[in-house]
Amino acid sequence: MHKKVLIISHSGDLHADLVEAILAARGHAPFRIDLDAFPRDYQLCQRLLDGRASARLRHLPEGDWLDLQQVGAVWLRKAADYAYASADLTQQERAYAQLETEQAIFSVLYGLDCYWLSHPLALRGAQWKGEQLARAARMGFRVPATVITNVPDDVRAFRAAVNGPIIFKSMSTPSLAAEAVEEADRVSAGIGTTIVDDAMLDSLDAVSELSCQFQEYIAKQYELRVTVIGKRLFAARLYSQDDARTAIDSRDMSAPIRYEACTLPAEIEQRCLAFVHSYGLEYGALDLIVTPDGEYVFLENNPVGQFLYVQQLVPALPLLESVADTLIEGALCHSQT
């Protein structure tokens, strides 16, 4: 009997829905934890008796128990806020419940001997954008000249040293955390990658509030979204310069720019794979640009980055199927141990 695939995400994750359907069609129906319904709709029990650990998990609407020792692969897809049976928890009660829930679920998950796509410790270590740039440079990528600082004069000096346009780019989220607060409390819908003009240079004192990232602006011929899934790599070319809305920041999905599958030079492909795997990751969504002179420039890696939109725009790239295949292979490998 082959071991199970466990998917951890939230109930609104279409990526997880589609991969779950593919797994089921291939005879590997997964067990799924939707964190936005956990622990409300689940029961979890971990035991340590006579030096032996065991754990089981039950999804209450379905009723079946899962012996977590039978898990051969875990896809840690997306986080979400936990849900509790009581809707009237005080602020302190909810804060404590979240801490205890985290202890309970990850005490079990961290102990699993299985394949991870990707392990939470690897994800934690791979998310820091400044460290990514330094690592990419050590591994042979060209990276943009960058300053991350809360000293306004550092930005002015950086602008003078670059002797050309510079950009502001959020390190965490371009939404400026709008999704983390109620709609009535939002003061901004976000800011994409932005050329720093003279007016912004005159307002740099605001930088002293918190560290911000500024980079040299590098002219683009086109951009690349490189998706690494296990040992597989898929590259999509984005013609971001075809539309003014995406010329600086290609994440504006209102612009109907062209996407197409492409093949990377072998050296760049191996460098992308090595970069992702250097963190112990089994998944990565890398953003690169190619300059008018044909030089490849690393921008960032998204350890749990979205990929469904890439497959929708470039159906030739079987990303959903590759995730399913990788999870099945991981589970089968651990079924033999």
> Could you report the per-residue pLDDT of 140-169, keeping only the tens digit for each?
999 999 999 999 999 999 999 998 999 999
CATH at residue 247: 3.30.470.20
Residue 319 lies in a domain: no
Domain count for the chain, please give it: 3
Q: 177 lies in a domain?
A: yes
Instruction: Please check whether residue 129 lies inside any domain of the structure.
Output: no
Average pLDDT over residues 13-21: 98
In the predicted model, what is the mean pLDDT of residues 300-308?
96
pLDDT in tens, 223-257: 999 999 999 999 999 999 998 898 888 888 888 89
Looking at residue 101, its pLDDT comes to 97
Domain membership of residue 23 (yes or no) is: yes
Question: What is the 3-class SS of the chain, one letter each residue?
Answer: CCCEEEEEECCCCHHHHHHHHHHHHCCCCCEEEEHHHCECCEEEEEEEECCEEEEEEEECCCCCEEEHHHEEEEEECCCCCCECCCCCCCHHHHHHHHHHHHHHHHHHHCCCCCEEECCHHHHHHCCCHHHHHHHHHHCCCECCCEEEECCHHHHHHHHHHHCCCEEECCCCCCCCCHHHCCHHHCCCCCCCCEECCHHHHCCHHHHHHCCEEEEECCCCCEEEEEEEECCEEEEEEECHHHCHHHCCCCCCCCCCCCEEEECCCHHHHHHHHHHHHCCCCCEEEEEEEECCCCCEEEEEEECCCCCHHHHHHCCCCCHHHHHHHHHHHHHHHHHCC
CATH code of 167's domain: 3.30.1490
Provide the whole-model pTM.
0.93
What is the pLDDT at residue 201?
84
Range of the domain at 244: 220-303
Q: Is the pLDDT of residue 71 over 90?
A: yes
Statement to judge: residues 230 and 209 lie in one domain = no
Same domain, 9 and 104: yes
